[in-house]
Structure formats: structure tokens, C-alpha cells
Structure 1
């Protein structure tokens, strides 16, 4: 859990012109973009399955999941393999497709603020905090909340045979 008032190390990535971050402890690895095996009747944001070191991993269009406009895949497009904490169970492993990975950064407690509820392009309940960098801001995402609904939880119940 992220605590306001403590230092934090994050992976910073971009979706369009906006910058987002995830705690480094939630990111297993960063991969080049790869095509996904499309699943029938999957939600629009679920691109399908991809193989990560012999394991089938659901691949998610993070732009679509956050309600942002779609974008074409480029040479900068990456897949963040993350672990989403699930209440009372094993973490859900997902591949999040992002436009680009910018860096791994550390933020002091004085640069971390609670997320304001001002509306905008993303819902404030999807954020842990706002990180200040220079004159700009980075939204620290809360994966548990982003993937907490029933539709998202279904991907954690896909049988291993679905990747075959």
C-alpha cells in the first residue's frame, strides 16, 4: 500500500501527453510490444493473451481501461508486466500496454500528494496520489481499484487452457 508522507520509487510511463506511474514493486518487467492471442467475447480493453516466459498473461490496453482514446502501436509501445494485488488471493499478473516507458524515478515525501477529486480525463478513485516533478504532475495509478470490478476479475479466472 502506498503511504502519503513516505519516499517512493516508481516506473514512469506515458499514455498520450500524460504521464502515469506505478510503484516499482508492482512491475515485474518491461517488454517490447507483441501481438496478443485475441479472446472471443472479451471486453474491448482486454487485448488477449501473450506468452511471458512460458506463462499465459492477459494483455490489457491501459488506454481503453482508463477510458482514454486509442492510439496506434509504435516502436516506443511497451508492455508492463505487473502484479495486481487481489483481496484474499494470489496477485493477478497482467501485461499493460503503454505508449512509452520514460524512466524509473524516486520521489521524496514532499513531492507526493493525495489525489484531488477534480474530475478530468481519469477518475480520481483510480489514483493513489499525484507526484510532482518540476512544474508537472504524474498520476500514480492504483491497479487494485482499476481492476476491482467484476468484469476485470474474470480475467483472473481464465483457465490455463485458454492460452492453448
Structure 2
């Protein structure tokens, strides 16, 4: 399933009262959310190995359950400064389906992981084309929750542009909800 924004389908699903199940996390004070179906595990920080010549966005790898996986920093994709790790910092391990159908795991740095929650599709909308400090094509949608905006990144676009990978981020359960 592609993470491309399909507002026509989203509007139809809004009428049915559907929601997107997400894992929320912080990056430099901003709240982001990932489709919970792509999240494999949330882990504490672990030793990183820098990869010479790698793109800054994915310049390190980690050992995850005996497998070497790339470690990406979404802050760099969104033009934020690198942050120093804190006691709340975590790594969110996701499943990334490469072009051709092969799946791989990728770790994403997070300043703080909050919860798995539901974002009603009725509260989501496409990013504005002007006035946004980040690339609109890196944002799958924005959701309003409790007076704040939650950014749902388009990981497929980010990895294709910044990480040198061509593929899509696909939920494990192949959920029917996509916005």
C-alpha cells in the first residue's frame, strides 16, 4: 500500500468515522505520528556505527536483534538540527518495503515516544502548499489533536529523496486505511 495522499478516499472514509492508528513521538518539540502498522518495535538507544560516505540522513547502522539495520534521523529530513540524546530518546524500528518487494528494517531516531493512539480521518488534511517550513511532499497529512498539529510524515517520499532507497513503507497488517 502506498502512503500517497488520497484525499478523495479520505473524505469517503471520514463519513464512515474511520481513524488511523498511529504511534506518536516528538522531534524537537513537534509531534509526529507513524502508521502503527509499520512499527516493529520501540527500543532504547543503542551503540551506533557510522558508515563512511553515507548520506547524513542515514549515516549510521545499529544492531537490532542480530541484524544490522540503517538508522535514520527524520530531524535532518525536516531541516532540523541534530539533537543530543536524552533519557527520553528512543529508536522506532519500522518495516520498509523496497522496490521489488523485499522488506527491510529501518531505525528512526525519536526525541520521545508517546503512545499508540487513533487519529480520526475527519481531523486530518493535506499540508498547505504555502507557509509551511518543511517540504510539503515530505508530509503525508496533518492531524488536529487537542489543539495541536500532529505531522504524519510520508516516509516513502523521504527515503526516496534523502535516503537513496526506492520503495514504500507498508504496514505489517496491510491495513485498508491510507490517506
Separation of aligned partners in 2, 1:70 and 1:25: 27
Among 132, 140, 151, the residue aligned to 1:128: 140
What is residue 72 of structure 1 aligned with on the other side? 84
C-alpha distance after superposition, 1:52-97 (max 9, x if no partner): 1111111112212322111111111110101223333323321001
Q: Are residues 1:62 and 2:74 paired? A: yes
- Secondary structure, counterpart of 1:94 in structure 2: strand
Structure 1 stretches of 4+ with a deviation exceeding 3 A read none
TM-score by length of 1: 0.85
| Ranges in structure 1 where 5+ consecutive residues have no aligned partner | 155-164
What is residue 90 of structure 1 aligned with on the other side? 102
Separation of aligned partners in 2, 1:121 and 1:69: 14
Is contact 1:29–1:80 with CA below 8 Å preserved after alignment?
yes
Separation of aligned partners in 1, 2:104 and 2:42: 16
Residue 118 of structure 1, CA deviation: 2.4
Higher relative contact order (CA 8 A, sep 6+): 2
Q: Are residues 1:41 and 2:53 paired? A: yes
TM-score by length of 2: 0.78
| Ranges in structure 2 where 5+ consecutive residues have no aligned partner | 4-8, 167-179
Q: CA RMSD in A?
A: 1.9
What is residue 113 of structure 1 aligned with on the other side? 125
